[in-house]
Amino acid sequence: MGSLKINGRQIFLLTENDRYPSPTINSPPMFALREDEEGKFWVYFLHKGRWPLISETPFTTQGKAVEAAMDYDYYKLFK
């Protein structure tokens, strides 16, 4: 499992065998990218102890998945 932090968002790059990371007390917004067997990328967001998908369809490249995580409006979950 690798990770990167961009603009205050923690993005984890997971393989199929990696577990989702656990947040710490002051964790930034956390996202996880997981590549499927077809080479497409799914993006998950940590919300209330769960990892829901942010899109119904996968992204074709890792770059597009990272962009989706960066553009995701997670504040809408708190309205």
Give the per-residue pLDDT at 8: 84
Report helix, strand or coil for 49. coil
Structural domains of the chain, count:
1
What are 3-54's pLDDT values in tens digits? 888 888 899 999 878 899 888 887 888 999 999 989 999 999 998 888 999 9
Question: What does the longest C-alpha to C-alpha distance in the chain come to?
Answer: 36
Q: Quote the domain boundaries for residue 17.
A: 2-78
**Phi-psi domain of 56 (left: phi exceeds 0; alpha: psi -120 through 50; beta: other):** alpha
Alpha-carbon span 57 to 40, nearest angstrom: 9
